[in-house]
């Protein structure tokens, strides 16, 4: 009796009533019946139509209660629609063939924001696929109902999702007022990014004031074509990534060289003290760094050049930054370090994009793209189950998209 009252309170469904409640060892089963004289809805046009016959009973999982599984059972009607003939009725509490009630889907997807999908499946005794479908349902609703107006700045990033050069293109909104994931595309080709701009629309693209990205050529090309009025900025996260990669390459080559020449392996275990930001380093890493700096190593010179570049971002004016860039690249070009020379050449070539950072009035926060990059990687790890593009896409929109959620009469969590 009480269960019925609860259900009526939390989840009333128009045209249906909750009937008999059966409790056995581990589950509560609630019979759902159509209200007398009510008509089912045609699953195609969603219009009421007279009943034709009843099908076999189907079970639908509802949100578990006090450790009991909760099951709704119902015998769906077939209705004879004047337009579509005899069809199975549209079921209001679950879509299509899904055995999971919509409120349970919203409930599962809520938890999937905090736990791994596997953990959600285990805790609520459903399958991984059920969790995936639940999140997908919520994401589909959100994508359909989100508002894409008034976006001023976007960031474009690429991220590896499978070994062997399998990349995703991610586009974020990076306005100070709202930061969220806007788009997930398979691969990092020009076509992928074009798809974003096509979906985004001409009007909105015209409104874009700033676009951050790395120096990936297909992206540069597409941005130029699709948003020529926006200021294109090479963002800090990616510049520092190029510099870090140069340090790492140099270190690898030098370690091998030292080994070949029979020297002490002083560069061993130095990777993170060279790459990490100084602020985030452990004491042991700082000690290692102090030790390394005493040697005249290529790696150390490379590292020092990288660190020196940090100063670039502190300039207030474009003029000062430009002067610094000239000095720095000259130093780098004379360093006889091939890896860093390569970066210096690239930065010189794309100097405009780099200096554009100082032309945007509202200084875009530096860490936005980097923050999203980290969160995206974390999310991909969390949704881990089947590493398909679809599941990763859904997981990323779910956690980073700030999507509106389907309306529901009662919050179950």
Stretch that binds Zn ion, among 73-81, 117-125, 259-267, 356-364 (CB under 5 A): 73-81
Minimal distance, residue 45 CB to Zn ion, in Å = 3
Containing H/E element for 344?
Answer: helix 338-349
Q: Which is nearer to Zn ion, 92 or 253 (CB)?
A: 92
Three-class SS of residue 252?
helix
Spatial CA neighbour of 172 closest among 320, 370, 36: 370
Spatial CA neighbour of 30 closest among 82, 90, 88, 70: 70
Minimal distance, residue 84 CB to Zn ion, in Å = 4
Contact call for residues 397 and 139 (beta carbons, < 8 A): yes
Give the one residue of 17, 45, 194, 308 binding Zn ion; rule: CB under 5 A: 45
Stretch that binds Zn ion, among 55-63, 78-86, 187-195, 223-231 (CB under 5 A): 78-86
Minimal distance, residue 78 CB to Zn ion, in Å = 12
Beta bridge partners of 171: 156, 183
The percent helix, strand, coil of the chain (3-state, each to 5) is: 45, 20, 30
Minimal distance, residue 12 CB to Zn ion, in Å = 25
Stretch that binds Zn ion, among 79-87, 197-205, 209-217, 321-329 (CB under 5 A): 79-87
Does 44 contact Zn ion by CB under 5 A?
A: yes
Whole-angstrom distance, CA of residue 192 vs CA of residue 176 = 26
Minimal distance, residue 395 CB to Zn ion, in Å = 35
Stretch that binds Zn ion, among 35-43, 111-119, 222-230, 346-354 (CB under 5 A): 35-43
Stretch that binds Zn ion, among 80-88, 167-175, 238-246, 396-404 (CB under 5 A): 80-88
Size of the site for Zn ion (CB under 5 A): 6
Q: Which is nearer to Zn ion, 50 or 265 (CB)?
A: 50
Whole-angstrom distance, CA of residue 371 vs CA of residue 354 = 20
Footprint (CB under 5 A) of Zn ion, residues 251-290: none
Q: Which is nearer to Zn ion, 53 or 268 (CB)?
A: 53
Minimal distance, residue 94 CB to Zn ion, in Å = 19
Minimal distance, residue 86 CB to Zn ion, in Å = 10
Q: Give the helix ranges, DSSP H, for 296-337.
A: 298-309, 318-333
Give the one residue of 13, 30, 42, 231 binding Zn ion; rule: CB under 5 A: 42
Q: Which is nearer to Zn ion, 85 or 199 (CB)?
A: 85
Distances (CA, A) of 77 to 8, 46, 53, 54, 345: 22, 14, 6, 4, 71
Q: What are phi and psi of 178, to 5 degrees?
A: -150, 125
Minimal distance, residue 41 CB to Zn ion, in Å = 8
Q: Which is nearer to Zn ion, 81 or 354 (CB)?
A: 81
Stretch that binds Zn ion, among 21-29, 38-46, 309-317, 343-351 (CB under 5 A): 38-46
Q: Which is nearer to Zn ion, 83 or 160 (CB)?
A: 83
Stretch that binds Zn ion, among 43-51, 92-100, 248-256, 376-384 (CB under 5 A): 43-51
Q: Which is nearer to Zn ion, 86 or 286 (CB)?
A: 86
- HEC profile of 168-189: EEEEEEECCCCEEEEEEEECCC
Does 409 contact Zn ion by CB under 5 A?
A: no
Q: What are phi and psi of 22, to 5 degrees?
A: -115, 130
Site string for Zn ion, 81-100 (x = CB under 5 A): x-xx----------------
Spatial CA neighbour of 133 closest among 385, 400, 413, 410: 385
Minimal distance, residue 79 CB to Zn ion, in Å = 8
Which long-range contacts (C-beta less than 8 Å, at least 24 apart) are formed by 360-366?
Answer: 360/209, 360/210, 360/231, 360/233, 362/176, 364/153, 364/174, 364/210, 364/212, 364/233, 364/235, 365/174, 365/176, 366/235, 366/236, 366/237, 366/313
Three-class SS of residue 51?
strand
The contact set with Zn ion (CB under 5 A) reads 42, 44-45, 81, 83-84
């Amino acid at each position: 009796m009480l269960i019925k009252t609860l259900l009526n309170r939390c989840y009333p469904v128009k045209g249906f009533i909750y009937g008999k409640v059966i409790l056995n060892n581990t589950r509560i089963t609630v019979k759902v019946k159509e209200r007398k004289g009510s008509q089912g809805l045609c699953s195609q046009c969603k219009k009421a139509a007279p009943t034709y016959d009843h099908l076999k009973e189907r079970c639908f999982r509802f949100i578990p209660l006090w450790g009991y599984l909760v099951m709704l059972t119902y015998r769906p009607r077939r209705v004879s629609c004047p337009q579509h003939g005899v069809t199975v009725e549209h079921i209001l509490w679950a879509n299509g063939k899904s055995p999971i009630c919509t409120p349970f889907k919203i409930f599962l997807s809520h938890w999937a924001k905090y736990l791994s999908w596997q953990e959600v499946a285990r805790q609520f005794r459903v399958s991984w696929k059920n969790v995936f479908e639940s999140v997908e349902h919520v994401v589909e609703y959100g994508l359909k109902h989100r508002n894409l107006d008034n976006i001023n700045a976007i960031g474009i990033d690429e991220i590896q999702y499978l070994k062997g050069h399998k990349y995703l293109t991610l586009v974020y909104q990076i306005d100070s007022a709202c930061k969220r994931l806007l788009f997930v595309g398979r691969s990092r080709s020009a076509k992928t990014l074009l798809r974003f701009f096509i979906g985004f629309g001409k009007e909105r693209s015209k409104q874009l004031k700033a676009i951050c990205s790395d120096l990936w050529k297909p992206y540069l090309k597409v941005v130029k074509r699709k948003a020529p009025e926006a200021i294109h900025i090479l963002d800090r996260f990616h510049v520092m990534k190029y510099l870090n990669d140069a340090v790492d390459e140099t270190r690898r080559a030098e370690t091998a060289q030292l080994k070949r020449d029979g020297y002490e392996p002083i560069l061993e275990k130095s990777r993170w003290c060279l790459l990490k930001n100084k602020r985030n380093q452990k004491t042991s890493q700082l000690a290692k760094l102090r030790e390394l700096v005493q040697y005249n190593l290529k790696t150390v010179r490379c590292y020092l050049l990288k660190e020196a570049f940090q100063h670039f971002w502190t300039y207030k004016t474009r003029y000062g930054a430009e002067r610094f860039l000239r000095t720095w690249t000259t130093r780098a070009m004379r360093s006889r370090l091939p890896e860093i020379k390569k970066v210096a050449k690239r930065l010189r070539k794309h100097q405009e994009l780099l200096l554009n950072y100082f032309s945007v009035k509202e200084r875009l926060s530096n860490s936005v793209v980097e923050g999203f990059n980290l969160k995206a990687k974390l999310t991909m790890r969390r949704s881990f189950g089947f590493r398909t593009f679809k599941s990763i896409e859904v997981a990323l929109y779910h956690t980073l998209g700030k999507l509106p959620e389907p309306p529901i009469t009662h919050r179950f969590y």
